[in-house]
Every structure is written in C-alpha cells, then in structure tokens.
A and B are shown apart, each in its own frame.
Chain A
C-alpha cells in the first residue's frame, strides 16, 4: 500500500536570515517544504507542531546554540529521532564534532555549503523518513485491523453467548408453557368426564364452576402470551386518554382482590383524595398494576401484608406495590423484567405463571413514557415495585362515567361462523340472555339470510373460508335494507390491526373470541341503547 505523496518538511535553523534564504534557494524542489527558524526557541516551537524529516542546524547561534538545541530535541520523544545535520562555519575540531555526534548529529557540513552534496545527503534522509512513515502507517493499519478483529471476535462471542442463553430460556419457557397449559386443561378434562357420567349429579354445579375458573385461567395465559408477542413486535396501540391513576388502581384491585383475599393477605390501599391525572390507557395500566398485585399475592406466604400506594413526585405519579413476601435475590433483581424469567420454578411451582407478566408490564409502562423498578432487601425480605408515570396537565373536566346501560329489548341476531360449534354455543348464549338467534356457517348463506330476515344484529366471524368477514360485511353494507343493522366483527384473540380493518369494512363493533356472557350482555345492551337513541 503506497501512501499518497505528502510534502516532506525539513527544518532549517540559522540566526542569519540570509543563510536561511540561501538554503531555501538551494533546496527548493516539489514536495519539499522548508521550515525556517531564526533561533533554537523558534525551532522548538515549530517542532511542536510539525513532524520533520531532517533538521539542519547552525551551530553558532546566540542564546541557544545548535548543540543545545540538538540536546533538547534529543530529550523529547517527539523529536528524538529527527536526524540532525550541523552546519558549521570553518572546520570543526574533533572535540566539537564529538559533542555534536553525542547530541545526535548524523553529519557535519561545512559552510560554505556545496549544493550537490547537501542535496544528495538530504535526499537520503528524506527517503529514510518516507520509508519510516510508510512503515509506521502500515503498522498502525495492522494494529487497527487487529484491534477491529478483536472487537468483532468479542462481539460475536457475546452475541453467541446471548443467543445460547436466549435459546436456553426459550427451551425452559416451552417446558413451562406446556406445563402451565396442562395445569388448567387436566381438571377441565376431568370435569368433562364427570359431567358426562353424571350431568346433574350433586357435584355438577361445582364442576362447572371449576371448569369456568380453569377456562378463564387458560384464556388469560394465552392472552398474556399473545400480548407479549404483539408488544414485542410493536403491534399494540395504546388507547390513551386523560385519566386518573386512581381509576387504573381501582380496576386493578378489583381484578386482584379475590386472589389477595383467598391467600388471606392484609391489603392496604393508600390513595390521595385529589385525583392524580395521567395520560394513559386505562385497561393496560390496570393490567400492569394487577400484575404487580398478583405477583405480590403469589410470592408472599399466606397472611402477609401488601400495600399499594399512590403519590405525586417530581411531575410523576408514583404507584408503589410492596409486600412482605419471598423477596428477590440480588442476582435476580436486574433480570426480573426479562422475558421468560421466573423465580426458581421448582421452588414456587405451585404459583405457576409463565414469567412474562413483568416483561409485559415493563414494556407497557415504557410505552407510556414511564419507568418501573424492583427493589428488595433479598430473599424473604419482601419486595417493592415502583411504577412512575408522567403526570398530565391539571384537570379541565371530569370525564362522564359511562354507566352500563340496562336494557332488555330482545334482538334478532344472525350468527355467522364457519366453526359450527362456536356458532351454536354463541346462539345458545344469545338465547339465554333473551335474544333470538339463527346461525349460518359461511358468507354466502349469511348474505342470503340477511336479505331474507333483516336482523337487528349480525355477528360475523372474520376468518372464514371462501368469503371472509370483511368481504361479507362490505357486501352487506351495499344493501340499503340493512342500514339499521348493527354488524359486529368477531375475531380470534383481538389484533389491533384487525380492529382497524373491521371498521374500514363497515363494522360497527369489534369483539374478540372467546366472548364471555358478560361482555355479550354489555355489548348488546349498548347496541339496543344506540338504536333507541337514534330512533
């Protein structure tokens, strides 16, 4: 590799300007720059700023003579290796020459200077200098390459290690997942066997309650799983609104209270009376807080103490959940928010869980521009989770609380789902809450039935073979007879994108399967209320 030709600098030091000019004239050629100094001090200043290939020093100068200058150059790392040619007036005696060589001179030239000799000597030194520069450049390049290689090696080792760890955690997670899914499934299967043998036996009611609880648990697990994957892929949109932190806390407490009570914990709620306004997604924040409360309940031995407090600090709402439970080992503290991290699975197996709750909580909090931290004094010292969210500006108005509308007008509902069993059970549920329902199992049948009956409500599954729900809905919206019909999209495990798409296709509402009876009742009450309001 050749370095591009850079000008080579040499330094000439002489107290007489005419000597300097003469030297310059003598040595003038392309690629060579002569730096001139009138004294040793000036020379040292120049040397501080510029590397030179060679120094031509006049020996006899006032103040600092050439030898002194040479000694000083010798003393500095930067200039130690600069070759020096002394220019002497008259013949120098042996002793003087010896001193010169001692200070690092490579040559002596007597004035008057013979141009050819000086030029040829200088050429030798310049060539040496250039070679040295080139070697230095190559050495630097090699060193840089070696360093870069080392860095890449370290980086790839780190990446491999991270990958290995992620892989390990994935395997553990899959094992945990299988276990956690089986836990509710096994009793559900038992329950089915019991009901089949004795549908109305003395345990039937208990069995059904149990199956309902286990099913709820199963649905929650799967919801969490999907949530975490959607959050990770950035597919969750927050529906943010001005809201009070108290609202999220109340909703969370409602969710977690049964578990807290069941484990006989003492629960204290410490809320300020004045509303603490934040800008957030109520459902998601309630989910986060409920997760913290559930963890506190699960990881605290029965009869423990759990405190949830809310305060304002430094422009932030501070929500703190503390417990007197198992606490968190120092090693585990930084990892508790990692995906698939769980406290020792064997130790706390009875508590179950997938190790995704806190990861999900942290992601949701970050999406709100907030932070969440865990603290613990160590094992059996309890733990504190602190959630901080930016406050929103002072309240301008209280939002109307939308009380659930009670209404019992019977609706005529058309249920469209290619899963016959799903359609059938949905229609049973509808009839149970006082509506009439008819089921069809594909889009074409739906169009026909809608034309014939003009139902009040069409409950339309999205993922159907042949004609999907969006297409059916667009088609239905072409029919002016169905202007008053409320069309509700039904999708598996609600994806936000589907929701958007559903509204574009002309749906009035969007709900996700599986639908609970409560949700159904509420939604259809709303539908009735809307219809009555518009009449």
Chain B
C-alpha cells in the first residue's frame, strides 16, 4: 500500500514517513500543495495523509483538487489537523476526506486506520 504524506513541517513529514514505513507501507513525502498535485498522478497513492494547514492552499481545497484525478478515484484521503483546528471535522468530510485525525497523531490510531484501509483493499481485491 502506498501512502502520500502531505505536510509542510519537514521534520514531521519525515518522521511520519518513518512511522508509515515501520508499519510496513510504502511512503512518499510532499512538502507543498504543488508538489502533492504533481505526485498524485505519478505515485498513484492508495492513501493520502494530508495536513490541513498548508502554505498557500488549504488541505480542503487540495483534497477537492486531487479527487478530480480519475486515477485517484479509489484513493483514501485522511485529514490531519493541528490542536487548534479540532472543530473542522464536518468541513473535512465535505471536502472528501474519509478520516480525520488530530495532530500529533498517535501511532496506534494511525496504525488502526492504515491497517483498516489495507484490509478493505484486500477485501475489494
């Protein structure tokens, strides 16, 4: 399973990548919305783990944009928001996020969500 991590805090992006790797999945990092737009059709991620507070473009808008790609029709988008943005659950659902996690993301939670998605994919074939 391929996970695209979109996060402008480089250290956070890298460590999240390492965690995803430890959980047994492949990952790629995008530090800017533009980079993510380019990585989407190229990397064809199964999961996009996306920070909401990105520079230049909000994660909501980026999610809407990326979901326009037909190649990403089955990709699961997961929103990650900071401590000050917890109330944004409804908004993230409207933008097309399947899951909404609050930062800093707990390893167990992330593991549960990613494993769930992987099982779904297996079941779907």
Q: Residues of A at under 8 Å CB distance from B? A: 175, 178-179, 182-187, 189-191, 193-194, 197-198, 201, 203, 206-207, 210, 213-214, 346-350
Stretch at the interface among B9-17, B41-49, B65-73, B91-99: B9-17
Question: Is A213 a contact partner of B11 (Cβ separation < 8 A)?
Answer: yes
In the assembled complex, the Cα of A197 lies from the Cα of B21 at a distance in Å of 12
B-chain residues with CB within 8 Å of residue A185 when the two chains form the complex? 104
Question: Is A187 a contact partner of B9 (Cβ separation < 8 A)?
Answer: yes
Question: Is B84 a contact partner of A178 (Cβ separation < 8 A)?
Answer: yes
In the assembled complex, the Cα of A182 lies from the Cα of B83 at a distance in Å of 9
Question: Is A350 a contact partner of B8 (Cβ separation < 8 A)?
Answer: yes
Question: Is B16 a contact partner of A197 (Cβ separation < 8 A)?
Answer: no
**From B53, which residue of chain A is reached at the shortest CB distance?**
A349
Question: Is A193 a contact partner of B19 (Cβ separation < 8 A)?
Answer: yes
B-chain residues with CB within 8 Å of residue A213 when the two chains form the complex? 11
A-B contact count (CB 8 A): 64
In the assembled complex, the Cα of A190 lies from the Cα of B11 at a distance in Å of 10
In the assembled complex, the Cα of A179 lies from the Cα of B8 at a distance in Å of 13
Question: Is A175 a contact partner of B84 (Cβ separation < 8 A)?
Answer: yes
In the assembled complex, the Cα of A186 lies from the Cα of B10 at a distance in Å of 11
**From A187, which residue of chain B is reached at the shortest CB distance?**
B11
Question: Is A187 a contact partner of B84 (Cβ separation < 8 A)?
Answer: no
Q: Tell me whether A179 and B15 are in contact in the complex, defined as CB-CB below 8 angstroms, given that A201-B22, A350-B55 are known contacts.
A: no
Question: Is B19 a contact partner of A190 (Cβ separation < 8 A)?
Answer: yes
In the assembled complex, the Cα of A39 lies from the Cα of B11 at a distance in Å of 98
Shortest CB–CB separation between residue B25 and chain A, in angstroms? 14
Partner of A183, one of B12, B16, B21, B22: B12
Chain A CB within 8 A of B38 CB: no
4 closest Cβ pairs, A-B complex? A190-B15, A187-B11, A193-B107, A186-B104
Partner of B18, one of A183, A184, A189, A194: A194
Chain A CB within 8 A of B116 CB: no
Question: Is B55 a contact partner of A187 (Cβ separation < 8 A)?
Answer: no
B-chain residues with CB within 8 Å of residue A186 when the two chains form the complex? 9, 12, 103-104
In the assembled complex, the Cα of A45 lies from the Cα of B106 at a distance in Å of 96
In the assembled complex, the Cα of A267 lies from the Cα of B106 at a distance in Å of 42
28 contacts between A and B (CB under 8 A): A178-B83, A179-B82, A179-B84, A182-B103, A182-B104, A183-B12, A185-B104, A186-B9, A186-B12, A187-B11, A187-B12, A190-B12, A190-B15, A193-B107, A194-B15, A197-B22, A201-B22, A206-B18, A207-B18, A210-B14, A210-B15, A213-B11, A346-B56, A347-B55, A347-B56, A348-B55, A349-B8, A350-B55
Question: Is B18 a contact partner of A197 (Cβ separation < 8 A)?
Answer: no
Interface size class of B (residues with CB under 8 A): 20 to 34
Q: Tell me whether A187 and B8 are in contact in the complex, defined as CB-CB below 8 angstroms, given that A182-B103, A350-B55 are known contacts.
A: no
In the assembled complex, the Cα of A477 lies from the Cα of B12 at a distance in Å of 49
**From A178, which residue of chain B is reached at the shortest CB distance?**
B84
Q: Tell me whether A187 and B14 are in contact in the complex, defined as CB-CB below 8 angstroms, given that A197-B107, A201-B22 are known contacts.
A: yes
Proximity bits, B23-62, A CB within 8 Å = 1, else 0: 0000000010000000000000000000001011000000
Shortest CB–CB separation between residue B58 and chain A, in angstroms? 10
In the assembled complex, the Cα of A187 lies from the Cα of B10 at a distance in Å of 9
Given A183-B9, A206-B18, 19 more A-B residue pairs with CB atoms under 8 Å apart are A179-B84, A182-B83, A183-B11, A183-B12, A186-B12, A186-B103, A187-B14, A190-B12, A190-B18, A193-B107, A197-B22, A197-B107, A207-B18, A210-B14, A346-B56, A348-B55, A349-B53, A349-B55, A350-B55
Shortest CB–CB separation between residue A48 and chain B, in angstroms? 74
In the assembled complex, the Cα of A197 lies from the Cα of B11 at a distance in Å of 19
B-chain residues with CB within 8 Å of residue A179 when the two chains form the complex? 82, 84
B-chain residues with CB within 8 Å of residue A214 when the two chains form the complex? 11
- Per the 8 Å Cβ criterion, residues 88-125 of B in contact with A are 103-104, 106-107
Shortest CB–CB separation between residue B105 and chain A, in angstroms? 8
In the assembled complex, the Cα of A458 lies from the Cα of B106 at a distance in Å of 40
A-chain residues with CB within 8 Å of residue B31 when the two chains form the complex? 350
Shortest CB–CB separation between residue A455 and chain B, in angstroms? 39
In the assembled complex, the Cα of A206 lies from the Cα of B14 at a distance in Å of 10
B-chain residues with CB within 8 Å of residue A197 when the two chains form the complex? 22, 107
In the assembled complex, the Cα of A198 lies from the Cα of B106 at a distance in Å of 16
A-chain residues with CB within 8 Å of residue B82 when the two chains form the complex? 179, 182
Partner of B55, one of A182, A191, A346: A346
Question: Is A187 a contact partner of B15 (Cβ separation < 8 A)?
Answer: yes
In the assembled complex, the Cα of A214 lies from the Cα of B9 at a distance in Å of 11
**From A352, which residue of chain B is reached at the shortest CB distance?**
B9
B-chain residues with CB within 8 Å of residue A193 when the two chains form the complex? 19, 106-107
**From A191, which residue of chain B is reached at the shortest CB distance?**
B15
A-chain residues with CB within 8 Å of residue B84 when the two chains form the complex? 175, 178-179
